[in-house]
Structure 1
Amino acid sequence: MTATDRALEWVRTAAQAASDKQAENIMAFDVSEQLVITDAFLLASAANDRQVKSIVDAIEDALREIGAKPVRREGERDGRWVLIDYADIVVHVQHEEERSFYALERLWRDCPLIALPDTVTSGRGQ
């Protein structure tokens, strides 16, 4: 089983929104084989708390435009690591320090990467 078409659309939309707000190190993983609770994870990082919030707002706006509504949000108060759960996808926007410390991409490295649009300028770890 692989991520659904809807999950892939949402991941790519969220990745583009994050890129538009200068998110760094944007990566998406198909976790559908490993987890039953979601199909994909999107990871993005930012240099400061304000940028984390800006990226989160942009992602929520972009996904709302295509009909996606979050099931829950965690971490908004601190602004260091915000998790947005859309059921089909889970978005993690982390401050660079948290991203480096928790290294979620190492945890999911055996999962396939999801190709992101060429317009996602910060790339996937590049």
Structure 2
Amino acid sequence: MTATDRSQELLDVAAQAAADKLAHDIIAFDVSEVLSITDAFLIASAANDRQVRAIAEEIEDQLREKLDVKPVRREGEREGRWILLDYLDIVVHVQHSEERSFYSLDRLWKDCPELPLPADAVATRNRPEGAVTDAAGNATAGGES
């Protein structure tokens, strides 16, 4: 069994939304062979709590607007260090860089196939961790906020 076309569609929108808010190290894994509860995990990182929240909100907004879906479960909003959005077909993990390093989901799921993502999202793997954003989590020109 592999991730469905619907899962890939959700991943593409979510990954692009995360990239638009300057998430870095965005990656998706097909976990359908090892988990029966979801097809795929999307993992993205942010440099601070505010940006974690902004990325998660943008993902929710874009999936609702473009695909008319809402998460069935949302966890971690209060702390803002690791927000989990469960869409049944996919589960999105937006993590503060420190949590990502500590919990190392990438290492945990490394044996699962990596799924393709939009070019803009894949390009974020080389984005510096300290990319400058404004209060809404948007990129700012020339490092000004």
What is the TM-score when the length of structure 1 is the normalising length? 0.96
Corresponding residue for residue 123 of structure 1: 125
Query: What SS does the corresponding residue of 2:10 show, helix, strand or coil?
Result: helix
Q: Which amino acid aligns with 2:125?
A: G
Residue 101 (structure 2) aligns with = 100
For structure 2, list consecutive stretches of 5 or more residues without a partner in the other structure. Answer: 129-145
Instruction: Using the aligned pairs only, state the percent identity.
Output: 66
Partner of 2:79: 78
Deviations 1:24-73 (A, max 9, x none): 10000000001000000000000000000100010000110111110101
What's the counterpart of residue 60 of structure 1? 60
- How many angstroms apart in 1 are the aligned matches of 2:18 and 2:79? 19
Query: Would you say how many aligned residue pairs link Structure 1 and Structure 2?
Result: 126
Q: CA deviation at 1:123?
A: 3.5
Residues 88-126 of structure 1, C-alpha deviations (whole Å, 9 max, x = no match): 000000000000000001110000000111122303899
Residue 32 (structure 2) pairs with residue 32 (structure 1): yes
Distance 1:124 1:36 in 2: 32
Kindly provide the CA deviation profile for residues 71-95 of structure 1, in whole angstroms up to 9, marking residues without a partner as x. Answer: 1011000000000000000000000
Contact 1:27 1:125 survives alignment (8 Å): no
Other structure's SS at 1:122 match: helix
Larger Rg: 2
The 1:105–1:122 alpha-carbon spacing in structure 2 relative to 1, beyond 3 Å, is: same
Whole-Å separation in 1 of the counterparts to 2:114 and 2:76? 25
TM-score by length of 2: 0.84
* Structure 2 residue matching 1:115: 3-state secondary structure: coil
Which of structure 1's runs of 4+ aligned residues deviate more than 2 A?
A: 123-126
RMSD: 1.5
Is residue 19 from structure 1 mapped to residue 37 from structure 2 by the alignment?
A: no
Q: What is the CA–CA distance in structure 2 between the aligned matches of 1:69 and 1:53, rounded to whole Å? A: 16
- Counterpart of 2:134? none
Structure 1 unmatched runs, 5+: none
* Higher alpha-carbon deviation: 89-98 or 62-71: 62-71
